[in-house]
Chain A
Amino acid sequence: MIESIEEPIEVLGLFRSGGVQPLRFRWKSRVIRIRKVTGDWSVNDGRDRIHYFSVLGDNSDYYELSYHTRKLTWQLSRVWLAG
């Protein structure tokens, strides 16, 4: 079941060719390696732009991360964990 989280996280990302690719993130003292970025989309909130990334962890856990371009902060938006 997918769960809404909306918690701040720390992200290691690769900025390249005008975009960013999240590589790892730390959530609740766990470091999660991103095996694959499976999708990305953007949403406007007033003048602010928020980029979303759907990513898979090593054991196919699914996460949605969001990056707020004005605040320069990352959040863990939703998760679906195995088991």
Chain B
Amino acid sequence: MDTPRRCILHIDMDAFFAAVEALMNERYRGKPLVVGGDLSRRGVVSTASYEARRYGIRSGMSLAEAYYRCPHAVFVEGNPHKYVHVSGQVLRILKEKTPRVEPYSIDEAFLELEPGTSLEEGVEVGAEIKEDVRDQLGLTCSIGVAPNRYIAKMASGVKKPDGLTMLDHESYRRMFWPKSPESLFGVGKKTAEALRTIGIETVRELAVFPVNRLRAAFGVNGEGLKQIANGIDHSAVTPYYEEVPQKSLGHEVTLESDVSDREQLLRLLVSICEEVGRDMRKEGYSGRVVVVKLRFSDFKTITRQRALGGLTDDSETIYRIAKDLFLLNWPETPIRLLGVSMSDLSHGEDDAEPDLFEIVSRRRNAVEAVDRLKDRFGEDVLRKAAEMRYDPT
């Protein structure tokens, strides 16, 4: 059991992107609304309003399928700037209740109330939050109140939209133990199938299954599975103002149509590596491991990585390694997504390798000058030639 007594709230905005669009344009209200990309291009559903969900439209579904299911739906291209702005307004409301607010995603957050707060008091705070979000922003949210983060997240999903659900350990077990393990957050189809192969069909069976057998089947994740089945979670709510160490930094691009042209893919790789290097320099990070991600037209995804001898934030160095990884692992079949990220990050100049060569220092000065130009005049003010033509190297 959790000691001392904790009270955690999980706030989940209802159909957030669609709700924000309908809030701003009253003509969208009450209609099936799909926020995603342009219908004329390949794209997926980002969020569907509850009216659209009645037609079976779900996040991640292709826009083409969404259109097939509901041709009279309104399709809107998403505008992340709007949603980030409104998300900030939601966070301001949450911070009025407690300073311990952790944004979990653009439309979810965890709150931890004062130690010793009862769950019933947490429900009162939840009700106030719902009222404030509705009155000040015209939006609805669903809230879970629980003794830890995991149960709070599960609780917020019990009644949606516009729900408020309290679950303690006993009510969590009562509600979820009869269900399939797939009902647990973090357990997908593949894990559920793997659990079935060792005889686990319900959350209860998972909760009481010997941990050594779970470890044998799932490695370190086995113990985690047993814990969530039992509603055990000791993780902290990390307020937004406390620095969370960045694990990786990267960019990925989903292509408008599948591409198998080597030159085009290498040009894109240059561009992505430029962005990754620029972000790292802006945030003050350098990294040791270059990771390349490829997703093929059949949605099979691979990642390949290589560790460098030292730290770098230099786009050309990142590109050199990324290009090597790409060419070694690309089977020359069409690609739908290309990504590059840096991991094993270090923050701050003290961690950077000493610069022993003047030529590196001169290049560094040039790179930082380009970064300053882009900060002032926008990303398109200067581009590498290699982003626009074939890279002969």
Mark A residues whose CB is within 8 Å of B. Answer: 2, 38-43, 45-48, 52, 54, 56, 60, 62, 80, 82
Taking chain B's interface residues, is the majority helix, strand, or loop, or is none over half, making it mixed? helix
* Given A46-B374, A46-B375, A47-B377, A52 contacting B81 (CB threshold 8 A): yes
The 8 Å CB contact of B26, one of A2, A42, A46, A60, is A60
A39 touches B377 (CB 8 A): no
B81 touches A42 (CB 8 A): yes
A–B pairs, 25, beta carbons within 8 Å:
A2-B76, A2-B77, A38-B23, A38-B25, A39-B23, A39-B24, A39-B82, A39-B86, A41-B86, A42-B81, A42-B85, A46-B374, A46-B375, A46-B379, A46-B381, A48-B378, A52-B82, A54-B24, A54-B82, A56-B25, A60-B26, A60-B27, A62-B24, A62-B27, A82-B27
Taking chain A's interface residues, is the majority helix, strand, or loop, or is none over half, making it mixed? strand
Q: What residues of B have a CB within 8 angstroms of the CB of A46 in the complex?
A: 374-379, 381
**Extra inter-chain contacts (10) besides given A38-B24, A45-B378, A46-B378, CB under 8 Å:** A39-B23, A40-B85, A41-B84, A42-B81, A42-B85, A46-B374, A46-B381, A54-B82, A56-B26, A80-B25
B200, CB-defined interface residue at 8 Å = no
CA distance A48 to B81 in the complex (A): 15
CB interface residues, B 12-41, toward A, < 8 Å: 20, 23-27
CA distance A46 to B378 in the complex (A): 4
Q: What residues of A have a CB within 8 angstroms of the CB of B26 in the complex?
A: 38, 56, 60, 62
* Given A62-B25, A80-B25, A43 contacting B81 (CB threshold 8 A): yes
Mark B residues whose CB is within 8 Å of A. Answer: 20, 23-27, 76-77, 81-82, 84-86, 374-379, 381
The 8 Å CB contact of B376, one of A39, A43, A47, is A47
Q: Which residue of B lies closest to A36 (CB)?
A: B26
Q: What residues of A have a CB within 8 angstroms of the CB of B25 in the complex?
A: 2, 38, 54, 56, 62, 80
Q: Which residue of B lies closest to A56 (CB)?
A: B26
CA distance A2 to B375 in the complex (A): 31
